[in-house]
């Protein structure tokens, strides 16, 4: 323990002296000044203590425990009878007691810094790191003493180095006071490192902000000078440079809009005049006015009412799609008779690549409308539909208002692409924002948050597209008229490829029919062996691949006309990607073929069942969804209820495990369509009666064995036909749906209608 000494005490407020600091104090109280004079006659030492809070009487409790043992370097008497004292803080000292009578003398214990507990290598690393931090901070902050760096590099004492860095860093007194109270060297070092690191981060952010502000100011000044220079050049050329205000007013005079709109724009122009030219607020206001002037408030295009011409255009651009074409022509006929521009919101639902987006463009062409596409795939922010409020930085109109501005008329055809892909998050519900857009009773006064003036959408013809009806939010679904665009048959793909895609790819790749010819056989083989899809995108890619290879061959070998046939197709597309799948038509026990609908068309599912000795457990594999699992359990319950009919032992289900599996386990599967298929496969596996390999089936099953209707029948029957199965079991209640399927798909197919599992087993099991 160090020797306790009694010293004159200077009490300071809002200040802290770290060892190494040199400061000047003005002393008013004579008693303190007298004590300092006596101290300078002796060894010149005084104690500087920081006061916690103002108090009538100074006690030990009103002072911070650790203060500064300081040396009086100079004391001067001032004209107002106060004293100026220059102090040099030398080391920390702890207050032991305070003179209660005056509070200007204190018994203190000087504190020495013990560095022996720190390893030599660690100490050197700590010294280097804190020096580096100070050097980095001094490079970022102007006004920090660069001459201190030399002293830091020469100092070998860690405690002195820590104090020196903080003494020479501009910090609030509270921070320095907190460091002064730390007597443990490691604690003091850690605190200093934290302080310096924080100051470096603050300095960096401050520099970035200063640069950004400077760039903005520089750009504003540059724009101002350029604008003035441009006006000067116009004057030199004899042109009269109109003021920005006058240009905007001229545009307003030309604008075809109602009085409410013009009054609003006039008000905004007057506001712009009062703002400082070149400022950020003026720039925002100018952009807003320009947006309002670009909106097609009362501009409308003249639509084509010629139904014959519209039919010609639709037939020219698309093969098939009879339902869609028929509905568009009906719409045109009604609108021609009523004279009203609005109409129902049409939603085209179907697999990818079936021409939903392109037919919307053809509809616009047929009706002579401006075409605007708004992509909704992945849109999460409600502001992308309704626009941002102008209070936000970077605000802009929503996609609907932007689409109208892009079209330039108030009655375009607006395609809302991928409406089933909209989603919601904390920024709002996008699908709810679309409700007002797609409601003919509300959209005549649609309000975009940025525009701020009601926009009339009643004359816009909205066409939406989606891959799956189940993914469209129900309130949106109810506001639209659904038209299904189903999968193409092989024959339809052939005609689309021959009549549309070949010419399109020839033009895209710079070829003519004199240079390249693709035979019908080659085209059919591409469809059967190189593509497997509901639409025709992959078919178009394969034709493009042939064209590219042919273009290279023409330039390299100059062979004259190239003819691609089914025999040499492999030279252009490589080996066949798909073999025409043919169903295993042999009768097998425990295996039944089902039919499934997928977003890219129909598919066949071969459901397998194994019976093994066990404890009556049921295992379902193959990535089945909840609905499919429930169908399997319902089918199993039905079989157990009719076990006696098939002479199944009463204890069979307690002594055997049943495993139901659908191959392609990595692909998720769900839906009610496989109910009767799974029940048939299980019954076959239990009774050892084979299932006919020439049959495919689809339908949901109930606990009592009724067969319920399902959807997607066109795709399912097409899938069966593609694999060579021509006999399909379909729920009886789906009979009207089958009759709507084209004769081309039904040709050669035997459709068997079933209403109960008794009828299913009678047709499917080979007894």
More confident residue, 61 or 753: 753
Q: Is 566 a catalytic residue?
A: no
Q: 424 near 430, Cβ under 8 Å?
A: yes
Reported confidence tier of residue 100, pLDDT bands at 50, 70, 90: low
Angle between helices 185-236 and 173-180 (to 10 degrees): 160
Residues 121-179: pLDDT tens digits?
A: 888 888 888 888 888 888 887 767 667 777 777 777 888 888 888 888 888 888 888 88
Q: Which two tokens stand for residue 523?
A: 């085209």
Give me the catalytic one of 673, 684, 714, 721: 673
Q: Which two tokens stand for residue 539?
A: 């078919």
Residues 375-397: pLDDT tens digits?
A: 887 777 777 888 888 877 778 88
Q: Is the pLDDT of residue 659 over 90?
A: yes
Per cent of the chain over pLDDT 90 is: 6
Question: Parallel, antiparallel, or unpaired: how do β-strands 346-349 and 481-484 relate?
Answer: parallel
Task: Give the per-residue pLDDT at 730.
Answer: 92
Cα(100)–Cα(656) distance, integer angstroms: 96
Q: Which two tokens stand for residue 520?
A: 């019908």
C-alpha dist (Å) from residue 712 to 408, 600, 657: 40, 11, 33
Task: Give the per-residue pLDDT at 279.
Answer: 63
Read off the pLDDT of each residue in 255-284 and give the average, rounded to a whole number.
Answer: 78
More confident residue, 571 or 221: 571
Helices (H) and strands (E) in the chain, counts: 28, 26
Read off the pLDDT of each residue in 441-466 and give the average, rounded to a whole number.
Answer: 84
**Domain 490-573 is in which class?**
mainly alpha
**What is the full DSSP assignment across 124-139?**
HHHHHHHHHHHHHHHH
Q: Is the pLDDT of residue 55 over 80?
A: no
Q: Which two tokens stand for residue 409?
A: 């008329």
- 396 SS3 class: coil
Q: Is the pLDDT of residue 577 over 60?
A: yes
Read off the pLDDT of each residue in 672-698 and give the average, rounded to a whole number.
Answer: 89
Reported confidence tier of residue 700, pLDDT bands at 50, 70, 90: very high
* Least confident stretch, 304-308, 462-466, 637-641, 644-648: 304-308
Reported confidence tier of residue 554, pLDDT bands at 50, 70, 90: confident
Residues 394-453: pLDDT tens digits?
A: 788 888 888 888 888 888 888 988 888 887 665 667 777 788 788 777 777 888 888 888
Of 38, 29, 52, residue with least CA distance to 7:
38
Torsion angle (degrees, nearest 10) of CA 207, 210, 211, 214:
-160
pTM exceeds 0.85, yes or no: no
Per cent of the chain over pLDDT 70 is: 92
Q: Select from 2.60.40.10, 3.60.20.10, 3.40.1390.10, 3.40.50.300 the CATH code of 327-479.
A: 3.40.50.300
* Least confident stretch, 266-280, 626-640, 673-687: 266-280
Task: Give the per-residue pLDDT at 753.
Answer: 92
Task: Give the per-residue pLDDT at 247.
Answer: 79
Q: What does CATH list as the number for 591-764?
A: 3.30.230.10
Q: SS3 sequence, 445-500?
A: HEECCCCCCEECCCCCEEEEEECCHHHCCHHHHHCCEEEECCCCCHHHHHHHHHHH
Q: Is the pLDDT of residue 565 over 70?
A: yes
Reported confidence tier of residue 731, pLDDT bands at 50, 70, 90: very high
Task: Give the per-residue pLDDT at 427.
Answer: 60
Reported confidence tier of residue 754, pLDDT bands at 50, 70, 90: very high
Architecture of domain 5-110 in this structure: Roll (2.30)
Q: Is 219 a catalytic residue?
A: no
- 320 SS3 class: coil
Domain ranges of the chain: 5-110, 244-294, 327-479, 490-573, 591-764
Cα(450)–Cα(146) distance, integer angstroms: 53
Reported confidence tier of residue 243, pLDDT bands at 50, 70, 90: low
Residues 6+ apart with CB under 8 A from 468: 349, 420, 599
Encode burial over 404-430: b for 16+ CB neighbours within 10 A, e otherwise. Answer: bbbbebbbbbbbbbbbbbbebeeebbb
Find the distance separating the first CA and the last CA of the chain, reported in whole Å. Answer: 107
Beta bridge pairs of residue 765: 691
In this structure, what are the phi and psi dihedrals at residue 238, rounded to the nearest 5 degrees? 85, 10
Task: Give the per-residue pLDDT at 432.
Answer: 76
Task: Give the per-residue pLDDT at 426.
Answer: 59
Q: Is the pLDDT of residue 666 over 70?
A: no
DSSP letter at 709? -
Q: Is 278 left (phi over 0), alpha (psi -120 to 50) or beta?
A: left
* Least confident stretch, 45-54, 482-491, 606-615: 482-491
Cα(380)–Cα(252) distance, integer angstroms: 35
């Amino acid at each position: 323990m160090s020797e306790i000494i009694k010293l004159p005490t200077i009490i300071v407020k809002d200040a802290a002296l770290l060892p190494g600091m040199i400061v000047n104090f003005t002393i008013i109280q004579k008693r303190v000044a007298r004590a300092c004079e006596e101290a300078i006659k002796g060894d010149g030492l005084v104690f500087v203590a920081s006061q916690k809070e103002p108090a009538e009487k100074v006690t030990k409790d009103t002072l911070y425990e650790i203060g500064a043992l300081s040396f009086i370097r100079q004391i001067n008497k001032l004209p107002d009878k106060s004293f100026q004292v220059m102090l040099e803080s030398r080391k920390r000292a702890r207050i032991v007691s305070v003179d209660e009578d005056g509070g200007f003398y204190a018994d203190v214990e000087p504190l020495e810094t013990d560095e022996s507990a720190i390893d030599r290598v660690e100490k050197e690393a700590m010294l280097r790191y804190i020096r580096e931090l100070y050097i980095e901070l001094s490079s970022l902050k102007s006004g920090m003493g660069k001459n201190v760096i030399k002293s830091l590099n020469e100092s070998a004492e860690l405690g002195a180095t820590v104090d020196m860095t903080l003494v020479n860093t501009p910090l609030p007194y509270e921070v320095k006071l907190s460091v002064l109270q730390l007597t443990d060297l490691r604690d003091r070092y850690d605190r200093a490192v934290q302080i310096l690191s924080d100051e470096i981060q603050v300095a960096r952010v401050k520099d970035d902000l200063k640069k950004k502000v400077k760039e903005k100011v520089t750009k504003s000044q540059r724009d101002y000078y350029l604008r003035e220079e441009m006006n000067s050049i116009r004057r030199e050329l004899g042109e009269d440079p109109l003021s920005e205000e006058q240009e905007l007013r001229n545009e307003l005079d030309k604008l075809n809009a109602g009085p409410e709109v013009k009054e609003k724009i006039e008000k905004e122009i007057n506001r712009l005049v009062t703002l400082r030219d070149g400022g950020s607020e003026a720039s925002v206001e100018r952009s807003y006015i320009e947006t309002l002037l670009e909106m097609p408030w009362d501009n409308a295009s003249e639509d084509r009412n010629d139904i014959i011409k519209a039919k010609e255009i639709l037939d020219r651009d698309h093969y098939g799609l009879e339902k869609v074409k028929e509905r568009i022509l009906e719409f045109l006929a009604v609108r021609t008779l009523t004279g009203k521009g609005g109409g129902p919101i049409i939603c085209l639902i179907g697999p990818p690549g079936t021409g939903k987006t392109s037919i919307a463009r053809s509809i616009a062409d047929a009706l002579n409308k401006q075409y605007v596409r708004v992509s909704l795939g992945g849109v999460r922010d409600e502001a992308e539909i309704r626009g941002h409020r102008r209070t936000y930085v970077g605000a802009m109109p929503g996609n609907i208002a932007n689409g109208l501005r892009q079209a330039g008329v108030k009655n375009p055809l607006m395609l809302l692409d991928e409406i089933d892909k909209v989603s919601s998050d904390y920024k709002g519900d996008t699908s709810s924002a679309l409700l007002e857009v797609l409601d003919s009773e509300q959209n005549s006064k649609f309000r975009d948050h940025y525009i701020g003036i009601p926009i009339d959408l009643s004359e816009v013809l909205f066409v939406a597209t989606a891959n799956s009806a189940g993914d469209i939010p129900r309130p949106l679904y109810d506001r639209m008229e659904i038209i299904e665009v189903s999968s193409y048959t092989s024959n339809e793909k052939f005609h689309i490829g021959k009549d549309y895609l070949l010419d399109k790819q020839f033009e895209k790749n710079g070829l003519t029919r004199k240079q390249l010819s693709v035979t019908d056989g080659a085209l059919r083989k591409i469809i059967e062996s190189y593509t497997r899809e509901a639409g025709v995108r992959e078919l178009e890619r394969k034709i493009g691949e042939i064209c590219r290879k042919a273009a290279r061959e023409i330039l390299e070998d100059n062979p004259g006309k190239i003819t691609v046939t089914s025999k040499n197709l492999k030279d252009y597309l490589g080996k066949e990607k798909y073999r025409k799948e043919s169903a295993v038509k042999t009768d097998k026990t425990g295996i039944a073929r089902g039919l499934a609908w997928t977003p890219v068309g129909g598919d066949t599912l071969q459901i397998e069942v194994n019976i093994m000795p066990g404890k009556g457990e049921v295992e379902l594999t193959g990535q089945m969804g909840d609905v499919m699992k429930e169908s399997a359990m319902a089918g199993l319950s039905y079989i157990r209820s009719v076990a006696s009919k098939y002479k199944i032992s009463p204890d069979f289900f307690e002594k055997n495990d049943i495993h139901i599996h659908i191959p392609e386990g990595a692909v998720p599967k769900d839906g009610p369509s496989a109910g009767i298929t799974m029940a048939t496969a299980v019954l076959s596996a239990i009774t050892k009666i084979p299932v006919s390999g020439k049959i495919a089936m689809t339908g949901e099953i109930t606990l009592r064995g009724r067969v319920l209707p399902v959807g997607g029948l066109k795709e399912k029957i097409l899938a069966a036909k593609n694999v060579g199965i021509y006999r399909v079991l379909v729920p009886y209640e789906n009979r009207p749906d089958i009759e709507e399927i084209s004769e081309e798909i039904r040709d050669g197919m035997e459709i068997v209608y079933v209403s109960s599992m008794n009828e299913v087993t009678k047709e499917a099991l080979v007894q």
